[in-house]
Chain A
């Protein structure tokens, strides 16, 4: 007999499920529209081998910006992710550089073997940009790519990038092109927060960068959790907790040297914060680095639990699973007690 959830308490106020592509920008935050699409157009002007390919999600991955500018360089492969990646391999074999887009769940889960065999094993120069990484949709597990980094970083030859904001995405796109070989990028699309332009920051493939220093806590983070970490660091400073933030946008190859060096500085709690299941993502990757380097420090993880996540409104879910600003602050404080 099929069991379902208990009926809700109808007397309680509740948020509605946000649109599938909920904005991850907090209220009043500065944003920039479609940074990936615009950066790709910019890149393609000087790189005639760049083509765009999508599986019926051009509009929802900002590839429509590229398609509008370069209609004859855009390939609609239909709602067929296996075909998308196989065809991208063939296109790359002919000397082109396909930027392929879909949702992270469909690339990492549905088309995994196609990416593994036709792209990674053959070391084809295919770039994979995937929207809705981690928990950035309230649609439920069908659209929540909680495990995409674990899957992609396990694949030989694959470079894996989890950018934080619009400023970074604009730099990641040309860096993906400069790297010969397959790259998986977690894509933030639509109105994307603008954060890192306020820091002295440049994206470098394979490099972790210290965005702020602090004596009490080191948060190691990637993707949108770096934005949360920076916000949390400001909030915690009001409580006289001094938080450093090490941003690790390249999940693979991991900057083990910088991570071990920063984590090895004595007297700090090390927290890894990621928009990903705690299994097989940045947290466990960092733990492995620290173990291998002989760095023994207090270590905590902020990430999504090993369970199928709920459907609902994104702010509710970020609170529920511990990756909202208030939850990050609350947890760090709790660990310092």
Chain B
């Protein structure tokens, strides 16, 4: 019998959502034979918690006025967000096989004009938080209760504009803004902390006036708790979740591969990766 109770009981767990997101991402990676798959795997738990626990949205109406906004500043993580948008029912699963192809709505770097549910054109790094500040101000002008979630990468902390936005979000007391910085400690030229040090990150962000939590970004319970606290924290401050993540998470042989911004996956390895992921299926 289809009752609310049975539907709830049968609803996928967050761990299953995260698994599905990873699997969608691997399938897209296989289509292109490349992609920022290690990053997609590291951020899947955060996206599962965002889309299936924290955020308010309507899959059939991606532009619903009362939705929470999700900004993907690090546009190269698009493969991960598409995987989540597919899992959320915002993008049809059938389009997965078009990833990165001509005329696809799923280009390799995320763009607002291409994809339902994509709220900004990222890729040129350091843009997202500035847009988030404007959206946060705009939502407050409209007396909206929607929030702006912004995902960006630790490498983006090198960009001065990120700190302009961090200052102004605090100045304007944007408590409707939830930033998530993916600290996988890997950017184009090497480990992020070696390319340009950003620690102690929590202290720095707190000094800028933010409510800051640092969690293991691959611990679903911890990420869920962080989103809950970010939503309910009483102080009129913007909120930041510093998520330490493991590149390649969920596929052991990729977790162990020498860390690199753009991890090479050989053609025969995609199926091996999916099999490895499936072995740990929740």
Give me the interface of A with B, judged by CB distance under 8 Å.
Answer: 51, 75, 77-78, 80, 82-83, 85-96, 98, 113-114, 117-118, 121-123
Contact = CB atoms under 8 A, between A and B. Distances in A.
- Chain B's interface size range is 20 to 34
Given A91-B134, A91-B138, A117-B123, 11 more contacts: A78-B167, A80-B168, A86-B127, A86-B161, A90-B130, A90-B131, A90-B138, A94-B138, A118-B130, A122-B121, A123-B113
Contacts of B136: 90
Contacts of B135: 90-91, 93-94
Interface string B160-181: 1100110110010000000000
15 contacts: A78-B171, A82-B161, A83-B161, A86-B129, A86-B130, A89-B130, A90-B132, A90-B134, A93-B138, A95-B142, A114-B130, A117-B123, A118-B120, A121-B113, A122-B112
B141 interface: yes
Contacts of A80: 161, 164, 167-168
A113 B142 contact: no
Nearest to B65: A95
Contacts of A75: 137
A320 to B, nearest CB: 36
A83 B138 contact: no
B21 interface: no
Contact of A121 (B111, B137, B139): B111
Nearest to B132: A90
A114 B164 CA distance: 13
Q: Identify which of B123, B127, B139 gathers the most chain A CB atoms within 10 Å of its CB.
A: B127
A87 B111 contact: no
Given A83-B165, A88-B134, A93 B121 contact: no
A95 B120 CA distance: 15
A95 to B, nearest CB: 7
A321 to B, nearest CB: 33
Contact of A89 (B126, B131, B167): B131
Contacts of B171: 78
A83 B168 CA distance: 8
Contacts of A98: 134
A91 B172 CA distance: 14
B133 A117 contact: no
B124 interface: yes
Interface in B87-139: 111-113, 119-121, 123-124, 126-127, 129-139
A300 B49 CA distance: 64
Nearest 10 A/B pairs, CB to CB: A86-B130, A90-B134, A94-B138, A87-B134, A90-B135, A83-B164, A80-B164, A82-B161, A91-B134, A90-B131
A89 B128 CA distance: 10
A311 B128 CA distance: 37
Contacts of B127: 86, 114, 117-118
Given A82-B164, A86-B161, A118-B130, A91 B137 contact: yes
Contacts of A89: 120, 130-131, 134
Contact of A118 (B131, B138, B164): B131
B167 A93 contact: no
Nearest to A92: B134
Central interface residue in B123, B136, B139, B168, by most chain A CB within 10 Å: B168
A82 B127 CA distance: 8
A95 B139 CA distance: 10
B137 A90 contact: yes
A83 B130 contact: yes
A132 to B, nearest CB: 22
A114 B165 CA distance: 13
Contacts of A117: 121, 123-124, 127
Nearest to A49: B141
Contacts of A113: 124
Contact of B133 (A90, A114, A122): A90
B121 A86 contact: no
A94 B130 contact: no
A86 B134 contact: yes
Contacts of B120: 89, 118, 122
